[in-house]
Amino acid sequence: MNNRRIFLQKAGLSAMALSVPAFTPLSAMTNFSTNNQDTRTLRVAIMGLGSYGTRVAEAIQDCKRTKLVGVISGTPSKITAWQSKYNIPAKNCYNYENFDAIKDNPEIDAVYVITPNGLHKSQSIRVAQAGKHVICEKPMAVNALEAQEMVDACDKAGVKLLIGYRMHFEPNTLEIVRMRKAGELGTPLFFQGLSGFIIGDPTQWRLDKELAGGGAMMDIGIYSINGARYMLGEEPVWVTAQETKNNPEKFKEGVDETIQFQLGFPSGAVASCLSTYSMNNLDRFFLNGNKGFAELLPATGYGPIKGKTHKGPLDKPHTTHQTVQMDEMAAIIFDGKTPELPVDGREGLKDMKVIDAIFQAVRTGQKVKLDLV
């Protein structure tokens, strides 16, 4: 516990006084000529060198338009290991106190923030103020207020804010979205999202309210929230929710173990979802329309994603999700590409508003109205 608190304190420190030249606009750091579309490489520094940061780093090795060029970590030994493994120069390595100096590093275009949820807001804002694009892992913050601050800060700095919604680029997922838009399922009526697993180490940051902002809902339940929105193609207008906590010793106050929640949509469609840290084999999306259905099982794992519809199996080829995500984000940043499903900060903000409402519904036992439009 003490180590986590020390980490939080260090990560939130203001940068040490640095002698730096005047702010250089992002446009001056990067060549934005349309003549170079589809050729520029997105040069990324990863902040947070844990298990998921490692997964992203490995995936980037197969990217066509993204390159890992820098690291930001509070652990010197990790920095040294990554330098050696990925051939990262010392001048592109930073810690949590001094990374504001990336402002003067023209070799870094963007920073991918992959740290505990409770640190996302402060770190993302500092990256934006340094003039670099921000890619932030989901959930983007611990509540909607923080998420809005991140959006505003990136808008003010004139940089992109993208959220790590890797499923928004997954081929079988996009095929279901295509079918729904084309009317092949008829009128969408019902979505079910099951998201859960049995979490291990009770001392990990994901079970620390200060660092995680919650429990299972923040980590895994967000997939069902987001999935309900893009599968049904609408924004929910109300939510109800119920919490079950069987192990209060492991899941302390403010750290949810299991939450069932229901969403209502303007068309009359409904969603019924489960988020849990206490049950395995829960990774399923099911979409039902009056003319057909679609199912993903598994729906959000690292792949391959498998599924079927009333027309037969879904068999789109699998490519490592993070590889596809990072190259697509390069196209969004450099080419102005509009993805089929949004991955910007405002998309992340909508999910945070739903999570806030779910927690409110759990506390009050009441149906909570939503306004995401």
Catalytic one among 94, 223, 230, 277? Answer: 223
The DSSP symbol for 220 reads I
Evaluate whether 225 touches 214 at the Cβ level (below 8 Å). no
In angstroms, what is the C-alpha Rg of the chain?
A: 21
- Angle, nearest 10°, between helix axes 171-181 and 222-232? 40
Residue type, position 103, single letter: K
Catalytic one among 138, 160, 350, 353? Answer: 138
Interstrand relation of 258-264 and 368-369 (parallel, antiparallel or unpaired)? unpaired
Distance of CA 22 to the CA centre of its chain: 32
Evaluate whether 136 touches 222 at the Cβ level (below 8 Å). no
Q: 3-class SS at 256?
A: coil
Helix and strand element counts for the chain (H, E): 12, 15
Is 223 noted as a catalytic residue in this protein?
A: yes
Is 291 noted as a catalytic residue in this protein?
A: no
Evaluate whether 144 touches 360 at the Cβ level (below 8 Å). no
The residues, ordered by sequence, that sit 6+ positions from 361 with a Cβ below 8 Å of its Cβ are 239, 240, 241, 261, 367, 368
Evaluate whether 69 touches 43 at the Cβ level (below 8 Å). yes
Q: How far is residue 107's CA from residue 49's CA, in Å, rounded to a whole number?
A: 19
Evaluate whether 30 touches 36 at the Cβ level (below 8 Å). no
Peptide linkage before 304 cis (omega within 30 of 0): yes
Q: Which residues are catalytic?
A: 138, 223
